[in-house]
A and B are shown apart, each in its own frame.
Chain A
Amino acid sequence: MEVKELICINCPMGCPLTVTIDGDSLSVTGNTCPRGADYARKEILSPTRIVTSSVRVNGGTIARVSVKTRSDIPKGKIFDVMKEIRAAQLEAPVEMGDVVIADCAGTGVDVIATKSVGRA
């Protein structure tokens, strides 16, 4: 049996959640509403995050274009994704929504541009 402490992020309440994991079963206490239990379950079983960063652009009006993973990726993959983002380079122009890295770090999720950068 394993016990984990979390803080719910759904609202300013910030309920302290206690998650008890016993084999396949998982129970949540400390939550005030059902959203807290859902949150805790997801955070324990498959925590995910959207990663945002920026990528170098050559020949653009600005030096960097902001990017994000199109959807959330497993939390444990954040630094793998960042490694690929850091290595990437683009040539201007870049359109918002352009795929910067397809299937980033084997997550199946694309990294896309979140702003447009024109040619200098």
Chain B
Amino acid sequence: MRYHDIVIVGGGPAGLAAAAAARKAGISDLLILERDNVLGGILNQCIHNGFGLHTFNEELTGPEYAARYIAQVEEEKIPYRLNTIVADITHDRQVTYINREEGLVTIRAGAVILAMGCRERPRGALNTPGYRPAGIYSAGTAQRLMNIEGYLVGREAVILGSGDIGLIMARRMTLEGAKVKAVAEIMPYSGGLKRNIVQCLDDYGIPLKLSHTVVQIHGKDRLTGVTIAEVDADKNPVPGTEEYYSCDTLLLSVGLIPENELSKGAGISLNRVTSGPNVNDRLETEAEGIYACGNVLHVHDLVDFVSQEAALAGENAAEYVKRKKSPEAAAKPARRIPLSAENGVRYTVPQFLEADGMRDTVTVRFRVADVYKDRYISVYYDEKRIMRKKKKVLAPGEMEQVTLTRKSLEEHPQTERITIRTEVE
């Protein structure tokens, strides 16, 4: 059976950054497996600008951001296979993939990096009553049809959900001559970036209807309209607030779900909140030598953080492979400290810290449960608060992070649990 030191599943932003970092860390035998016919993943269809402010200190479009990483992969001659679907990954790192040229192939991997990204939540998950006509698209599907294939999905649209893809598509459709009548958001706040609300909706006079949702879908063949209603605090429609919007298109931007079918197949447990694998501070899943990064681990807002996280996974996977190969292979670090999310913090990534092998600093990323003003983010080692920072505003749509240091943990060697919570006082 063929062997590769590191096999990377997915050639999008996470896979590319992981590959580049692993190569930099001295691993030459890499293989990227990509299901599409080009590298770059979802960035290829994200033709708007705003990518890379953190990484390159300039505003790039999605394809331009991807091109920088693809260039690294090409320069380093990192092997990749396109049009290749991974069918199965086992707990002990056998990877089975399929493509036209090679057929069905199983290989062994020293380490695996999961970088499969995420998918959009479909309408079915919302269980919206009505007909099931043509013209209902997830925002990303419409984006692909428009930006890659060059087709306009409709002339009059309503958008359900104010996630960033929905906001971006509102502008995109408007620029291409369609009329976007409204964006309905069931929450009392938008899940999208402020900048997108101003530049994608306000610029074009598209109303954002907060605490509203689509309650009925009309039209048997092609969509003819939707009914939108206000919702109460429990997200139930308020009778009497229904309003009919005629439209031929409904775009859904109602959330993203990490795509973890392969992880599950490998027997890796998933976190209930993130829907991604539980990982330690090295981004290693519960299956030894299998790492996860990017949107398959948890959904990000900014690609820059995906790249950072993926680079870390790449370095750690490289280190793992090297350690395995050295004769005095060290045993896996034993002392594991769980991280818990409390009081307004919904989850943390990582979920565990391997204290013995910890790096000098560990970035912990998380999201909050609601919009909070003037709150602290606090970190506790057991009952002891060891740091906190004041935030003027916290929102579920914006990923937050804190940095833990090896030094401070060494000062508290008895720590059994690390807790991150928001605090009013």
Contact = CB atoms under 8 A, between A and B. Distances in A.
Q: Indicate yes or no for A touching B, C-beta below 8 A.
A: yes
Interface of A: 7-9, 11-14, 32, 49-54, 56, 62-64, 66-68, 75, 78-79, 82, 86, 96, 114-116
A11 B398 CA distance: 10
Interface of B: 44, 47-49, 59, 61-64, 67, 146-150, 172, 175-176, 193-195, 197-199, 202-203, 392-395, 397-398
A55 to B, nearest CB: 9
A52 B148 contact: no
Interface of B is mostly: helix
Question: Which A-B residue pairs are the 3 nearest by beta carbons?
Answer: A66-B47, A115-B63, A9-B195
Given A9-B195, A96-B67, A114-B61, A64 B392 contact: no
Contacts of A52: 47-49, 61
Given A13-B392, A62-B148, A64-B147, A50 B59 contact: yes
22 contacts: A7-B194, A9-B194, A9-B195, A12-B193, A13-B392, A49-B203, A51-B175, A52-B48, A53-B172, A53-B175, A53-B176, A62-B148, A64-B147, A64-B149, A66-B47, A66-B62, A67-B47, A82-B176, A96-B63, A114-B47, A114-B61, A115-B64
Contacts of A114: 47, 61, 63-64
Contact of A78 (B59, B175, B398): B175
Given A13-B392, A66-B63, A68-B49, A54 B150 contact: yes
Nearest to B40: A115
A11 B149 CA distance: 34
Given A12-B393, A52-B47, A52-B48, A115 B198 contact: no
Contacts of A96: 63-64, 67
A48 B171 CA distance: 15
B61 to A, nearest CB: 4
Given A53-B172, A114-B61, 7 more contacts: A7-B202, A52-B49, A54-B150, A62-B149, A66-B47, A78-B203, A82-B175
B222 to A, nearest CB: 23
B398 A66 contact: no
B67 A54 contact: no
Nearest to B147: A54
A67 to B, nearest CB: 8
A86 B178 CA distance: 13
B62 to A, nearest CB: 8
B68 to A, nearest CB: 10
Contacts of B203: 49, 75, 78
B111 to A, nearest CB: 31
A63 B47 contact: no
A7 B47 contact: no
A63 B63 contact: no
A23 B44 CA distance: 46
A117 to B, nearest CB: 10
Nearest to B151: A63
Contacts of A51: 175
Interface centre among B62, B147, B203, B394 (most CB of A within 10 A): B147
Contacts of B197: 7
Contacts of A49: 199, 203
A11 B148 CA distance: 31
Nearest to B48: A52
Contacts of B199: 9, 49
A38 to B, nearest CB: 15
